[in-house]
Structure 1
Amino acid sequence: MSRKPWDLAFTAEPEEVGALRRVMRLHLGIWGLHDVTDEAQLCVSELVSNVITHVGLGTPTTLAVSMNGTHLRIEIHDPDTRALPTLMDAGAGSETGRGMALVDAVAARWGVLLRADRKVTWCELETGLASPGGHVDGAGVTRAEALLSLYSAAKQPSDERSSRLDRTTAEEVVIDAITDFLHWLRAHGCDVDEVLDRAQTHFEAEACGVTGERGGD
């Protein structure tokens, strides 16, 4: 999977935070990184709020998101090189000083880079990816990968096989496999629609168990 870096310029205002959280959720969904959505949204909220509080309302700011190996990297760029984020041991009842503590709690690492014309506050989140261009492994995904490899080998001549299926080819193999399973079910007198409904129910239950209940922004 290709996860190309992207960035978004915005003005540091409280009403922008919700929009940035929605953009982050959308992009992470496309990237297949649903499991880190909550943590990524929290980091965006806190880093942007830090700019609003310590640099000022209306500050021209940029959100930049990329992959650093198997880690998700989130950067907030602002023009003030003097107001540096500080990790404070804020008390439970404190109204301030908790932002970077929250980032520190969920991120694998974070820091600040000073450029000639801007400050870059960044953090990186563990994604669970096996490789930078791979996907988050799970028992079902692992079994599916093994089945796809066997099915592809059975369907394709040896001189047409590749060591790794691209996404489009893999989708076609999945469609072929599902179609053949439906033929098998019908040949054995099974109710195809009932089996598909049960499979969908199982998938939705397992997906909910993996991602948990996530509120929309």
Structure 2
Amino acid sequence: MFRAELLALPKEVPVLRRAVREYLGGGPCPDVQLCVSEIVGNVIRHLGEGTPVVVRVRGTGEGRTRVEVTDPAPGALPVRVCAAEGEECGRGLALLAAVSLRRGVRRGPGRKTVCCEVAGAYAPPGTPENAGAQEPTETRRTTGAQEAAGA
């Protein structure tokens, strides 16, 4: 499993994308990199630069790769909005919805984890996928309507 603890800063996002790609063998993994970038970018935009995060990437054992980003704000839930034409912001969760098979939020004491799973069993060379990996217990799966309503 890839795991990185860092402060969410704009300059760290490309470094993180490269580290994830290297961990996954250096081959193309654009959906995984996009998910990492968008979730960490949301932390920067909505919680502020310098927020501590933990980023994890692992295989699920089911032909998918799971991305998780944990931050210290359990009450700040992601909400999908409809970006107007020409707006620079408001498309991150729509991008996650487009590339992921499923996504959700798990809240815990003093933290939340935003996660998504993409097709493709990306795994570092020479290591088996994380077979038998456990599903998080309190995943909140949302639909576009629930996100728009703030559920």
State the TM-score, normalized to the length of structure 2.
0.76
Structure with greater proportional helix content: 1
Aligned to 2:37: 45
State the shift of 1:62 in Å. Answer: 0.8
Aligned to 1:159: none
State the shift of 1:89 in Å. Answer: 2.4
Distance, in Å, in 2 between the alignment partners of 1:24 and 1:126 is 16
Which residues in structure 2 correspond to 1:9-158 (within 5 Å)? 9-29=5-25, 34-35=27-28, 37-69=29-61, 70-127=63-120, 133=128
1:126/1:67 CA distance change after superposition, 3 Å:
same
State the shift of 1:128 in Å. Answer: 5.9
State the shift of 1:91 in Å. Answer: 2.8
Q: Which amino acid aligns with 1:66?
A: R
Distance, in Å, in 1 between the alignment partners of 2:44 and 2:72 is 12
1:128/1:78 CA distance change after superposition, 3 Å:
closer
Q: CA RMSD in A?
A: 1.9
Distance, in Å, in 1 between the alignment partners of 2:31 and 2:58 is 15
Structure with greater proportional strand content: 2
State the shift of 1:67 in Å. Answer: 1.4
Q: Secondary structure at the match of 1:73?
A: strand
1:56/1:107 CA distance change after superposition, 3 Å:
same
Do the aligned residues in 1 keep the contact of 2:65 with 2:121 (CA within 8 Å)? no
Look at both structures and tell me which one has the larger radius of gyration over its CA atoms.
Answer: 1
State the shift of 1:13 in Å. Answer: 0.4
Do the aligned residues in 1 keep the contact of 2:2 with 2:23 (CA within 8 Å)? no
State the shift of 1:65 in Å. Answer: 1.1
Do the aligned residues in 1 keep the contact of 2:67 with 2:116 (CA within 8 Å)? yes
Q: Which runs of 4+ in 1 moved over 6 A?
A: none
Q: Which amino acid aligns with 1:24?
A: V
State the TM-score, normalized to the length of structure 1.
0.54
Larger relative contact order (CA 8 Å, sep ≥ 6): 2
Please list every run of 5 or more consecutive structure 2 residues that lacks an aligned counterpart in the other structure. 123-127, 130-151
Aligned to 2:149: none
